[in-house]
Amino acid sequence: MISALRDRGENVVVHELDGTFPAADATARRALAASLEAVPDGAVTILDGLALGDSPELVEPHRERLCLLALVHHPLADEHGLDAGLQRRFLEHERRALAACHGVIVTSAFTGRRVAQLGVPAARVRVAEPGTDPAAPATGPGPDAPPELLCVASLTPRKGQDVLVGALARLQDLPWHASLVGATDADPAFARRVQQQVAEAGLEQRIHLTGACDGTVLANLYRHATLFVLPSRYEGYGMVLTEALACGLPVISTTGGAIPDTVPDGAARLVPPGDADTLAEALDHWLRDPRARAEAAAAAGTHAASLPDWPQAAMLLAEAINELALQDTN
The pLDDT tens digits for 42-67 are 999 999 999 999 999 999 999 999 99
The pLDDT tens digits for 280-297 are 999 999 999 999 999 999
Q: Return d(Cα 330, Cα 159) in angstroms, integer.
A: 42
CA 58 to chain centre: 26
Q: Compute the mean pLDDT over every residue in the chain, rounded to the nearest whole number.
A: 95
pLDDT over 80 (residue 328)? no
pLDDT over 90 (residue 5)? no
pLDDT over 80 (residue 330)? no
User: By C-alpha distance, which of 74, 94, 90 is closest to 82?
Assistant: 90
CATH number for the segment(s) 2-131+309-329: 3.40.50.2000
- Give kind and range of the element (H or E) at residue 127: strand 125-127
Q: Return d(Cα 251, Cα 240) in angstroms, integer.
A: 10
User: By C-alpha distance, which of 192, 190, 181, 194 is closest to 230?
Assistant: 181
The CB-side HSE value for 106 (13 A sphere, CA atoms) comes to: 24
How many other C-beta atoms are found inside a 10 Å radius of the C-beta of residue 252? 25
How many other C-beta atoms are found inside a 10 Å radius of the C-beta of residue 273? 22
pLDDT band at 329 (very low <50, low <70, confident <90, very high): low
Q: Return d(Cα 300, Cα 106) in angstroms, integer.
A: 24
**What residue ranges do the domains of the chain occupy?**
2-131+309-329, 148-304
Burial class of residue 172, CB neighbours in 10 A (0-12, 13-18, 19+): exposed
Q: CB of 161 within 8 A of CB of 194?
A: yes
As a whole number, mean pLDDT of residues 117-129 equals: 96
Task: Please spell the DSSP secondary structure of 71-97, one letter per residue.
Answer: EESS-GGGSTT--HHHHHHHHHHHHHH
Looking at residue 4, its pLDDT comes to: 84
The pLDDT tens digits for 73-90 are 999 999 988 999 999 999
Classify 273 in phi/psi space as left (phi over 0), alpha (psi -120 to 50) or beta. Answer: beta
pLDDT over 90 (residue 143)? no
* Topology agreement, domain 2-131+309-329 and domain 148-304: yes
Looking at residue 196, its pLDDT comes to: 98
Q: Return d(Cα 321, Cα 319) in angstroms, integer.
A: 5
How many other C-beta atoms are found inside a 10 Å radius of the C-beta of residue 139? 12
CATH number for the segment(s) 148-304: 3.40.50.2000
The pLDDT tens digits for 214-259 are 999 999 999 999 999 999 999 999 999 999 999 999 999 999 999 9
